[in-house]
Amino acid sequence: MSNLATTTTILAVLGSGVMAGLFFTFSNTIMKALSQAPDDQGAVVMQSINVVIVNPVFLLLFLGTGVFQALYIGLSLVENGLSGTRWTIASGLLYLVGCLFITMKFNVPLNNMLAAFDASLPESAIKWRDYLASWIPWNHARTIAAVGATVTGCIALANG
Which 8-state DSSP code applies to residue 2? -
pLDDT mean across residues, the chain: 94
Burial code of 59-97, b = ≥16 C-beta within 10 A, e = fewer? eeebeebbebbbbbbebbeeeeeeeebebbbbbbbbbbe
The overall pTM is greater than 0.75: yes
d(CA 93, CA 77) in angstroms, rounded, equals 14
> How big is the CA angle at 157 (ends 148 and 141), to the nearest 5 degrees?
10
Residue 125 host element (H or E): helix 124-159
Given a cut of 70, whether residue 141 has pLDDT beyond it is: yes
Q: What's the pLDDT score for residue 83?
A: 55
pLDDT in tens, 2-60: 788 888 889 999 999 999 999 999 999 999 999 999 999 999 999 999 999 999 999 99
Indicate the number of domains in the chain: 1
Residue 30 CB partners (closer than 8 Å, separation 6+): 49
82 falls in which pLDDT band (50, 70, 90)? low
What residue type is assigned to position 141 of the chain?
Answer: A
